[in-house]
Amino acid sequence: MSQPILVTGIYRSGSTWLGQMLAESEHIKYYGEPFNPINHKVYGISLPSPFYQLSGNEDILITKLKNAIGIDKNLNTFLSRLSLNHGLLNNSAKTYRYLNALFRCSSFIPLIKDPFALFSAEILAEKLNSDVVIIIRHPAAFVHSVKRMNWVFNFSWLLDQRSLMKGILLPFEDEINQRKREGYYSSIIKSACLVWKVFHYVISHYHNRHSNWVYVRHEDLSNDPINQFELIYKLLGLTMTDRVVQAIQRSSNKQNIVEAPAREAFALNRNSKANIKTWKKHLSEAEIEEIRKLTTPISKAWYSEADW
């Protein structure tokens, strides 16, 4: 089995589209959001809060996650059965069939799509020996998306993680505390911009430390899906077959809707090129300027003047 793949980034960034188009490869098996609390039982894990930062000492949790996505599980099962069942050793036909089945299972590459795992990306990359793909999205597009969905971010999810707040998020501690005191809805734009800044500050930190990871802007994927996905496939050592190309074309062609229906979170088939700047239709000039000011200078690492 090749290295697992972690696809992450800020939520509402297109990580589901990215992950599912990569999972169109016949060699990929898709696992959605194990760090999302609603999925903990599915994966047999438990974390104290959403967007949790692993410390690196959660060996039991990592083992459970590996088992849930098929890493080591099949080999351990085989070795266990081999030691208990000497008949396998003495029956070449049975051994062949079992090894063949094991090979088919182990030939799949697990892909974990999980924006909830962004703050744990370094630990997961180390413990799972995984490739990492991070998607970035324009701050105004993110703000528009969370406003459309009326999604609230609970800043206690961050503040209750002492090591996170005293570590990489220390520069934002006062601002996060202020937003919590004033309340998310006291200014949706200020709150959403702070979330964008925190996530993309961490992404920029990763970008400086891990040049071998893959970083892609949602806007670049949307503007030229085939060529951008082909580049990502190559970087991950995957083959982009005709089936993959057709799936990408179905998900992004100009016959698709431009905007998702109200409050629909995951409408994957869009006119991707036309969707890039729908935020300009829904945000006022004053709101756009406020978003721009609130997310500078972090946004300048990813977006130029022309992107506004």
Taking only the tens place, the pLDDT of each residue in 212-242 is 999 999 999 999 999 999 999 999 999 999 9
- What average pLDDT score do residues 247-252 get? 96
- The pLDDT value recorded for residue 208 is 98
Contact 67, 128 (CB under 8 A): no
What would the mean pLDDT of 89-113 be, rounded to a whole number? 64
Distance of CA 172 to the CA centre of its chain: 22
**What average pLDDT is seen over the chain?**
90
Query: Could you report the per-residue pLDDT of 9-19, keeping only the tens digit for each?
Result: 999 999 999 99
Is pLDDT at 104 greater than 90 in this prediction? Answer: no
Tell me what the mean pLDDT of segment 110-130 comes to: 98
Q: Evaluate whether 112 touches 31 at the Cβ level (below 8 Å).
A: yes
pLDDT for the residue numbered 269: 87
Average pLDDT score over residue span 72-76? 51
**CA within 13 Å, CB half, 11:** 19
Higher pLDDT, 298 or 89: 298
DSSP conformation letters of the chain: ----EEEEESTTSSHHHHHHHHTTSTTEEEEE-TTSGGGHHHHT---SSTT----S--HHHHHHHHHHTTTTHHHHHHHHHHHH-HHHHH-HHHHHHHHHHHHHHHTSEEEEE-GGGGGGHHHHHHHHT-EEEEEE--HHHHHHHHHHHT----THHHHT-HHHHTTTTGGGHHHHHHHHHH-GGG-HHHHHHHHHHHHHHHHHHHHHH-TTSEEEEHHHHHHSHHHHHHHHHHHTT----HHHHHHHHHHH-TTS-SSPPTT-S------HHHHTTTHHHHS-HHHHHHHHHHHTTGGGGT--GGG-
Residue 198: Cβ within 10 Å count: 24
pLDDT given for residue 95 in this prediction = 55
Determine contact, residues 207/298, Cβ cutoff 8 Å. no
Look at residue 90 in the predicted model and tell me its pLDDT.
Answer: 58
The residue length of the chain stands at: 308
Reported as a single tens digit per residue, the pLDDT across 171-208 is 999 999 999 999 999 999 999 999 999 999 999 999 99
What percent of the chain clears pLDDT 90, i.e. is strictly above it? 81
Residue 108 and residue 29 in contact, taking contact as beta carbons nearer than 8 Å: yes
Q: Over the stretch 265-276, which tens digit does the pLDDT of each residue have?
A: 666 788 999 999
Residue 103 has pLDDT above 60, yes or no: no
- Global pTM reads 0.88
pLDDT for the residue 81: 45
